[in-house]
Each structure stands twice: as C-alpha cells, then as structure tokens.
Amino acid sequence: MKPNNTALDMKGILVLILICASWGLNQVAIKVAIVGISPILQAGLRSIGSTLLVLIWMNFRRMPIFSKDRTLWWGILVGVLFSAEFILIYWGLEFTHASRAVIFINTAPFVVALGARLFIPGETLGRTQTAGLCLAFIGILLAFHESLNLPTRQMLIGDAMLTAAAVLWGATTIVIKAGPLAYIAPSKTLLYQLAVSALVLPVAALAFGESGITAITPLIAGSLFYQVFWIAFVTYIAWFWLINNYSVSRMASFTFLTPFSG
C-alpha cells in the first residue's frame, strides 16, 4: 500500500471518472427503484447484497477476513458514518428538493481537503488545486442555481441534513486514509462499511415507518442489481483502492462530476 502517494496518474484519473459517472447514474437507479422499494430499505438491501458479494470475492481470492490487524473498531466507525450519511440523505430529501441536495452534498470535497490538511501528513493543496476545487463547486452552483430560491423552514431542515451528510462522507474518507484501514485490502474496508450498514439501515427503515417493498418489476429489479453489483461492490472497491493509493484531497474535486452524469 502507498497511503501517502500524492500523484494522480492517468490510470487513477480514468478510474475516478468512471466511478463518478457510475455514481451519477446510481441516482437515477435509486429514483427508478423507489417506486417499488422505499429509500432507506433500498440502501439496506443494497448493503446486504453487496456484503455477500464481497464475502464471496474475498473467499475466492483467499483473503483473510478475521485476521488480527487491529482495524475492527475503525471499520465499525466507518460503517456507522456511512450508515448515518445515507439516513441523512434519504431523510433530508423528504424536506428539500433533489436539485438543492446536489449542491449541499457536494460540499463534501471541501471537508476532505480540510480534513486531509489537518490529519494526513503531506496532504496539502496548492493555490492552483484550491482554486480548481472552488471553480468546480462554482460550476455546480451555476448548473443548479435555479433551485436556490428563497427556502422555506422545512427546506432549510433538509438542507442542513444534506450538509451533515456531506460532512460524514468527507469524514469517512479521512478516517479511512488517516487510520490503519489505509494499510489493509480495499475489499476488507468495504466489507466493514457494508456489513455495518446492512445491519443499521433496515432497522432505520423500520424506525422511520417506511412502506418497504410494494412492487417488483424487471426495471426495479435491474435498478437494484445495478446498485448492488456495480455501485456498492465494483465501484466502492475501486474507490477504496484509490483512497489507499492516491491523495484524497486531489481526488475530491473529481466527485463534482457525479451530479452532471446523473
């Protein structure tokens, strides 16, 4: 592992672009499946399915699952942060518009940049990189500026939830990069995140009184499969591999591509 590598080469850039494009399409998949599967339960089913895939993958690759690498509590922390992030996103969307949510959730790269500067030695952005990060966010504001109308009190509550979710997203990245999780296999880091959320999210769906599964069509099933296999299995492993091998502060600005592909 090279947790302090700061160079983003062409391979890393291409993987980042593919991941962000996939995450943008994931927003569409969620909207399609939400017709028949309530949102937080949908996230829980995604985590359950992807947990099984990661276990199969690690067993096939003969990768140790229960090795004593002193990462258990770090892994549980990452799983809790991930679960809370998605609860806030889905709950927040009950109060505010999706177009406003895009703006507030994309403050996460600034959390990553600040957290990296504070907690990860050698992780700093120069003036050019900082200016680029700010310009990318300005691009988001320009693209979705029509949603920034005078908010109601209810919308402000949702905006606050989405901002908190962005902080949790950024904090998850920093915890992974700054702690011992940066030195283990990306698939095990992902397993921690998915296994914890697979337990938390279905319980949260019950606590919020969601309707659960009301309809299953081929389109809904295909959308859920896309989330389980491609998003939460393939792209998340790739994302954790990137975190382990590249500068997270330099990676952060690429996530601004996500809403445009969505």
Residue 80 has a pLDDT of 96
Lowest-confidence pick of 92-96, 97-101, 112-116, 199-203: 97-101
Task: Report H helices in 179-215.
Answer: 186-207
Asked whether residue 36 carries a pLDDT value surpassing 90, the answer given is yes
Residue 203 has a pLDDT of 95
3-class SS of residue 149:
coil
Lowest-confidence pick of 120-124, 190-194, 198-202, 224-228: 120-124
Lowest-confidence pick of 25-34, 40-49, 104-113, 120-129: 120-129
The helix (H) or strand (E) run that includes residue 12 is helix 10-33
Asked whether residue 46 carries a pLDDT value surpassing 90, the answer given is yes
Residue 7 has a pLDDT of 67
Mean pLDDT of 107-130: 78
Percent of the chain surpassing pLDDT 90: 40
Tell me the one-letter amino acid at 100: R
Q: Is the Cβ–Cβ distance between 166 and 106 less than 8 Å?
A: yes
Predicted TM-score (pTM) of this structure: 0.81
Mean pLDDT of 120-126: 72
Spatial separation of the C-alpha atoms in residues 201 and 236, rounded to whole Å:
18
Average pLDDT, the chain: 85
3-class SS of residue 37:
strand
**Crossing angle of helices 218-225 and 10-33, rounded to 10°:** 150
Q: How far is CA 49 from CA 138, 177, 198, 218, 225, in A?
A: 37, 26, 9, 17, 9
3-class SS of residue 8:
coil
**Which residues, 6+ apart, have CB-to-CB distance to 31 below 8 Å?**
none
Domain locations in the chain? Answer: 25-261
Query: How many other CB atoms are there within 10 angstroms of residue 32's CB atom?
Result: 17
Q: Between these two residues, 171 and 255, which has the higher pLDDT value?
A: 171
Q: Is the Cβ–Cβ distance between 259 and 23 less than 8 Å?
A: no
